A and B are shown apart, each in its own frame.
Chain A
Amino acid sequence: MLFNKRTERYFVWVFFPLALLMPLFLEQNTFYVSKLTTVMIFAIFVMSLDYLVGRCGLITLGHAMFYGLGGYIFVMIAPEYEAVNFWIYTFYICAIAAAVALVIGFLVLRTSGIYMIMITLAFAQMAYYFFSDSLDFGGNDGVFIYVKPDTSIFGLSLFDLENPVHFYYLCLLSLFNTLFFFRLVTRSRFGRVIDSIHENPGRTTALGYNIFLFRLMAYTLASALGAYAGYLFTLQYGFVNPSMLAWTTSGSALVMSILGGIGTLYGAILGTLVYEGLHFSLEHLTEHWLLFMGALIILMVILFKNGIAGYLENLLERR
């Protein structure tokens, strides 16, 4: 079985069908559809970070660099007034992001712990300032995308990206695929080596594995997926901005993945949902939403030792 934890199966069987049916209930209200879309897109990003931090043990504060790159690469390579093919450009963007990740990973993965956090942060900051100071890419105010890609395969048009409901389904599909894909990876031989590296790098090296290479592969994979999320985010409203690369974006994603339950992968979806949900409702209740947000986060860290997924697993996995 792919989803071997009971809690995870419950989550998948509850969340995805609900999400599938959601637009039918919310037909008149495209706002909620769009809001959920944004949350799902960020959940993809958070999941890719969760894989890196939770499964591989590579803590990075620079992951948002790839999120931003997803959008900026599109701006750089796509013609301004022409609709390109969504699938082909997905490939291009992931490929370019992976190439960048290979280079950065090569430099960054020699360090560990707090030093890795800082050096990944450094690269992200450099990328941030590069785009923020640049006049060609809109600088600090960002840049628009005027024409959204077309999603036809062999002439058969699948999703109309201008339609919020279609875009919602595309993102939902992407989210499911990402979870599915990461599950496949963690269950594969590659994934088991990664787990072994995480648990005991010394022993794994002694067994003859080149842990640097495996980590580099994992880093590249996660970064390419992070870029895909950024690409989706950009396409939603057609707007790219250097703040996507900011360390605060990486920080938020880290918060959501820890909140959800680090390393559980489906926890990333939970964490993003809860965090964004809390933010949304608190904002509507009081002007001082930040105070309650902070207090709730502190409480959750103290009470839920393994994140929300950890708490749920505690409840449901007992014999």
Chain B
Amino acid sequence: MENNKKFLRTLLAAAVTTTLCSQALADNAEPIKVGVMLPFSGIYAALGDAGRNGLKLALQEHADDLHGRQIEFIEMDTEAKPEKAPEIASSLLDQHHSDFIIGPVHSGVAMGMIKVLKDKDTIMIIPNAGANAATGPLCAPNIFRTSFSMWQPSYPMGRVALDSAYKRVVTMSWNYGAGRESLEAFEEAFTAGGGKIVKQIMVPFPKTEFQSYLSEIGSINPDAVFVFFAGGGAVKFVKDYDALGLKGKIPLLGSGFLTEGTTSAQGPSAEGIRTTLHYADGLDNEVNTKFRQDYRQMFGKEADIYAVQGYDAGLLIAKAVDKLGGDISDRAALIKAMESTKLLSPRGEVSFSKAHNPIQNIYLREVVDGVNKVMDVPAAKLEDPARGCKL
């Protein structure tokens, strides 16, 4: 028994030492280093996986644009934990000298990342986190976003609600930055046209027991309900909304994340829900059709907005590298090249605002047979107002 323990321990120590040493030795100057910090475990793991898949697909498809340079991926699991963000970001920057750092999903992690990476010698591309601040008060020349700001997908829904003659609306979301910003954007547009927010329900994050709140909504009986929920919470909310009988009686509107990557889990409860988002799986254009097909073939599952955003991050890198002929050592030139890039994204054409946020169409979608079909384009080439950004 003694010998077993000793053996195991020595083995362990040897393994640890070897791996630690291997970290110090691995390093070469030739490939373009793309650091990826996304959640690969925990509640946001599906979003992290999709983003990484999209990123890799784009860089693989556009390998020719890289002028012979290889891509070296350095992937680190953030576990969607904000307290790990500065450490992981500084690892990708200081240890691995990443040229690009792609991440994160979670806005709290984004804050931690920005603290470390702002104005440093690397380009940070956000493939999801929508915190308004990233392209607002905290904007910086080396921070780009290929996803959205929380304001963007929700703002046009205010107009849609007014056009549908809704006067009294209840809004609901989790009580955190992303939720608040989303509801505020809807409220901004809705109240500007004379609508009234009868009640705003903030659920402690990440609670998914919605019964009591839904019962209250049933009692208030508004003209419509606007919500922001994503991932597992979105699945439960939509199912509970239906189960309690509110579906069909009180129209449910949402920021598109409500039905992104969740429709198969939500089943028939998702049918007929209208949402606004900068993408729709049913979007009918060449790029999207090809993208969805390639994604399905390569990864065996359906692409969603998180994959598209990751894909566009890859596209952005490829296009910028192409413009500079493969030499990205001049960061200022790289930033200029990225700023002027127009992406032919599966979501439509995307360009970047001064604050480095995408200028994009927002689509009104409705779930038909488990697919988000595009009904209308309530806002074309919508630019986030970037309040507080000094760029």
Residues of A within 8 A of B (CB): 29-32, 34-35, 38, 129, 132-133, 139-142, 144, 236-239, 241, 243-244, 249, 277-278, 280-281, 283-285, 287, 289-290, 296, 299, 303-304, 311
Chain B nearest CB: distance from A209 CB in Å?
40
Closest-by-CB residue of B relative to A236 is B86
B94 partner, pick from A30, A140, A303, beta carbons under 8 A: A30
Let me know if A281 and B204 touch, CB within 8 A. no
Interface residues of chain B: helix, strand, loop or mixed (majority): helix
Chain A binder among B105-113, B153-161, B192-200, B378-386: B105-113
Which residues of chain A are within 8 angstroms of B253 by Cβ–Cβ distance? none
Let me know if A239 and B94 touch, CB within 8 A. no
Closest-by-CB residue of A relative to B131 is A141
Let me know if A144 and B111 touch, CB within 8 A. yes
Let me know if A237 and B90 touch, CB within 8 A. yes
Which residues of chain A are within 8 angstroms of B107 by Cβ–Cβ distance? 141
Which residues of chain A are within 8 angstroms of B85 by Cβ–Cβ distance? 239
**Interchain residue pairs with CB less than 8 A apart (29):** A31-B90, A31-B91, A31-B94, A32-B95, A34-B87, A34-B90, A132-B176, A133-B204, A140-B175, A141-B131, A141-B176, A142-B82, A144-B111, A236-B86, A237-B86, A237-B90, A237-B112, A237-B115, A243-B83, A243-B108, A249-B83, A281-B16, A281-B23, A283-B77, A290-B41, A303-B4, A303-B5, A311-B5, A311-B9
Complex alpha-carbon distance, A82 and B40, angstroms: 39
A287 partner, pick from B9, B40, B90, B110, beta carbons under 8 A: B40
Q: Confirm or deny: B63 has a beta carbon within 8 angstroms of a beta carbon on chain A.
A: no
Complex alpha-carbon distance, A129 and B41, angstroms: 23
Q: How many residues of B contact A (CB 8 A)?
A: 42
Task: Decide: A278 near B16, CB < 8 A? Known: A237-B86, A243-B82, A287-B40.
Answer: yes
Let me know if A35 and B87 touch, CB within 8 A. yes
Let me know if B95 and A29 touch, CB within 8 A. yes
**4 tightest A-B contacts by CB?**
A237-B86, A31-B95, A140-B176, A281-B19
Chain B nearest CB: distance from A316 CB in Å?
13
Which residues of chain B are within 8 angstroms of A141 by Cβ–Cβ distance? 82, 107-108, 110-111, 131, 176-177
Chain B nearest CB: distance from A270 CB in Å?
12
Chain B nearest CB: distance from A134 CB in Å?
10
Chain A nearest CB: distance from B30 CB in Å?
19
Those of B254-293 within 8 Å (CB) of chain A: none
Those of B211-229 within 8 Å (CB) of chain A: none
Which residues of chain B are within 8 angstroms of A29 by Cβ–Cβ distance? 24, 94-95
Q: Confirm or deny: B116 has a beta carbon within 8 angstroms of a beta carbon on chain A.
A: yes
B204 partner, pick from A31, A129, A241, beta carbons under 8 A: A129
Q: Confirm or deny: B205 has a beta carbon within 8 angstroms of a beta carbon on chain A.
A: yes
Closest-by-CB residue of B relative to A133 is B175
Chain A nearest CB: distance from B129 CB in Å?
9
Those of B111-130 within 8 Å (CB) of chain A: 111-112, 115-116
Chain B nearest CB: distance from A163 CB in Å?
13
Let me know if B15 and A281 touch, CB within 8 A. yes
Q: Confirm or deny: B387 has a beta carbon within 8 angstroms of a beta carbon on chain A.
A: no
A-facing mask of B68-95, CB < 8 A → 1, else 0?
A: 0000000111000111011100110111
Which residues of chain A are within 8 angstroms of B29 by Cβ–Cβ distance? none
Q: Confirm or deny: B298 has a beta carbon within 8 angstroms of a beta carbon on chain A.
A: no
Let me know if B19 and A285 touch, CB within 8 A. yes
Closest-by-CB residue of A relative to B93 is A31
Complex alpha-carbon distance, A302 and B86, angstroms: 35
Which residues of chain A are within 8 angstroms of B83 by Cβ–Cβ distance? 241, 243-244, 249
B82 partner, pick from A32, A241, A289, A304, beta carbons under 8 A: A241
Task: Decide: A140 near B205, CB < 8 A? Known: A237-B112, A241-B82, A278-B16.
Answer: yes
Let me know if A140 and B177 touch, CB within 8 A. yes
Let me know if B19 and A140 touch, CB within 8 A. no
Chain A nearest CB: distance from B12 CB in Å?
7
Complex alpha-carbon distance, A34 and B87, angstroms: 8
Closest-by-CB residue of A relative to B94 is A31
Complex alpha-carbon distance, A267 and B205, angstroms: 36
A277 partner, pick from B16, B40, B205, beta carbons under 8 A: B16
A-facing mask of B12-36, CB < 8 A → 1, else 0?
A: 1001100110111000000000000
Task: Decide: A239 near B112, CB < 8 A? Known: A281-B19, A283-B77.
Answer: yes
Which residues of chain B are within 8 angstroms of A241 by Cβ–Cβ distance? 82-83, 108, 111-112
Which residues of chain B are within 8 angstroms of A238 by Cβ–Cβ distance? 115
Let me know if B115 and A139 touch, CB within 8 A. no
Chain B nearest CB: distance from A53 CB in Å?
22
